[in-house]
Chain A
Amino acid sequence: MEETLVDIDFKEKEEYIINMGPQHPSTHGVLRFETCLQGEKVKYIIPHCGYIHRGIEKMSESLTYPQLLHLTDRMDYLSAHINNEAVALCVENAMEVEVSDRVKYIRTILAELSRIASHQLWWSAFGMDLGALTTFFYGLRDREKILDIFEETTGSRLIQSFITPGGLMADIHPNFQRRVKEFITYFRKKLPEYDQLLTGNVIFRERTLGIGYMSKEDAIDYAVTGPSGRGSGFHCDVRKLAPYSAYPFVQFNEITYTEGDTYHRYLVRMKEMWESLNILEQLVDNIPQGEIMLNLKAIKAPKGEYYQRVETARGELGVYIVSDGAPTPARIKYRSPNFSNLFILNKVSANHKIADLVAISGSLDLVIPDIDR
């Protein structure tokens, strides 16, 4: 007659719940995954957001359009320029004005630089999440160059509030073009290093190949946009579908893979950095002359509803403005890419090991303040 304190059979069947986050290094922000496990296997995940909700949309209702712009920087802070551009384009559409080609070119250059910087940071952090701490330093070393370009022209490194409705806050710095060109040659040399360090690494490949499969149907159903969706073959690049700013003037490829696993979501971003470099190269020497700021009496949208979408580093950002003709919007809604991308996590990580959850959530490249807003 033996009595064991722990019934192993029973325990193996038992599901239990652990909380990943809100202070977990791999979530890169305050997000909590209520993770149900069976042994080491993930049964389901319930994401709990709201830890960094600041009420940006509500706050914006009491601010004028140029004023509310600085709040959009603080949603997806890694694509600050692109968020600004989204609001600026939406307000410009509403007012039926068009900025000069110079502004369009500069906006696009800044947007592509942000995209590269964002992917660099993501690459660094993704490697770090999977145990390759070295990548973090290599990625940040190169990102610093872009931040310097931003700082010289806009005065800030991360959240610039530079692209405003009607144009730009200031003209570019005289060094801007030279620095961007230097960066293009520099980074073309450094990008192969990224592949040598991480892409080919056997541990990395084992941990990502075939992990977290997302079908194209799932990507469309859950509206997973950006590189995460394109890794599953979902053609969702807004730069191609509805070109804005200077994108109609440039040639570039939309990177898609059909495999839909973590590794291919990774590859999409790596290839996108090359594409962004190509876009930059086409634009940087051809910035036309033109005025930097339209001479607008008052920046306010006429009565009506307006929508504008742009491609941030993480997917499709939509700005929906309802205006009653006042200088402040009656209602403003952001369709943030990360919010949609987050909820596929439950589906793609089911039946994977808990350690893979880090890889999968990393490959979705979530920025938490963009989820909560």
Chain B
Amino acid sequence: MALLTTLKSIGNYFREIYNGVTSLARGMRVTGKYFIQPSSIVTQQYPENRATLKMFDNFKGELILKHTEDNEHFCDACNNCARKCPNGSIEVISKREEGPDGKTRRVLDKYIYHLDMCTFCGLCVQACDQSALEFSNEFEHAVFDRNNLIKQLNHPDSKVVEKQAETKEPNTPTV
């Protein structure tokens, strides 16, 4: 009886060693499989691949004010985006100016965006009735001085798009 239990415990001892070693070998097999199949490696070499690295179109990199080729933007300085922003990252500075029809109107002077305070919630883009805002795919934001993260989004000398074409359109069918 005593012999049997001794034999059993010896057997268990070796079985445990065997099971342990095979479990390790099973894990090593997975690693080995990838080791001899370099094609299955998915690591991307950044920044070496900067030229080919493309983000998804929807990627929220940083806020930009859309500009047309003629350096015109769509913002009518209504301040909706700044009101909706939970972090106060947007300052819309407007000025009064004489429009083409001779009336004074509110136009955008400076559109200040604090990238350092933005949480990329997307509420500003959603709030804009003019679809003037969008997110760019730029993701390399690192700068040495945080003041460089405060950006003016309207390009120098840019103007607001004149919406004459748009205002005419709804009129034509009624005539």
Which A residues have a C-beta under 8 Å from some C-beta of B? Answer: 63, 66-71, 134, 138, 141, 144, 148, 151-156, 159, 161, 169-170, 173, 193, 196-198, 200-203, 205
Contact = CB atoms under 8 A, between A and B. Distances in A.
Contact of B58 (A70, A152, A200): A152
B24 A197 contact: no
A155 to B, nearest CB: 4
A196 B126 CA distance: 47
A156 B27 contact: no
Contacts of A67: 84, 86, 121, 123
Interface residues of B, number: 25
B151 interface: no
Query: Which label, helix, strand, loop or mixed, suits the secondary structure of the A interface?
Result: helix
25 contacts: A66-B84, A69-B121, A70-B121, A70-B123, A144-B42, A151-B58, A151-B59, A153-B58, A155-B60, A155-B135, A156-B59, A156-B60, A159-B119, A159-B120, A161-B120, A169-B126, A193-B30, A197-B31, A198-B27, A200-B26, A201-B27, A202-B20, A202-B21, A202-B23, A203-B24
Contacts of A66: 84, 123
A347 to B, nearest CB: 31
Nearest to A74: B119
A153 B59 CA distance: 8
Contacts, number: 71
A117 B126 CA distance: 28
B30 A197 contact: yes
Nearest to A66: B123
A170 B121 CA distance: 12
B24 A201 contact: yes
B164 interface: no
Interface of B: 19-21, 23-24, 26-27, 29-31, 42, 55-56, 58-60, 84, 86, 119-123, 126, 135
B58 A154 contact: yes
A161 B26 contact: no
Nearest to A59: B86
A151 B27 contact: no
Contacts of B126: 169
Contacts of A170: 58
B58 A155 contact: yes
A151 B56 CA distance: 7
Given A66-B123, A155-B135, A169-B126, A201 B23 contact: yes
Contacts of A198: 27
A213 B23 CA distance: 25
A196 B59 CA distance: 36
Contact of B86 (A68, A134, A141, A153): A68
Q: Which 9 A-B pairs have the closest CB atoms?
A: A202-B20, A67-B86, A155-B60, A70-B121, A155-B58, A161-B121, A152-B56, A200-B23, A202-B23
Contact of A202 (B24, B31, B59, B60): B24
A196 B27 CA distance: 5
B64 to A, nearest CB: 14
Contacts of B60: 155-156
B122 A169 contact: yes
Contacts of A201: 23-24, 27
Nearest to A173: B58
Nearest to A63: B86
Nearest to A193: B30
A193 B32 CA distance: 12
Given A156-B59, A161-B121, 11 more contacts: A70-B86, A155-B56, A155-B60, A156-B120, A161-B119, A196-B26, A196-B29, A198-B27, A200-B23, A200-B26, A202-B24
A154 to B, nearest CB: 7
B144 to A, nearest CB: 25
Contact of A141 (B26, B31, B42, B119): B42
B59 A155 contact: yes
Contacts of A69: 121
Contacts of B84: 66-67
Contacts of B26: 196, 200
B122 A161 contact: yes
A67 B123 CA distance: 8
Contacts of A156: 59-60, 120
Nearest to A169: B122
B161 to A, nearest CB: 24
A307 to B, nearest CB: 24
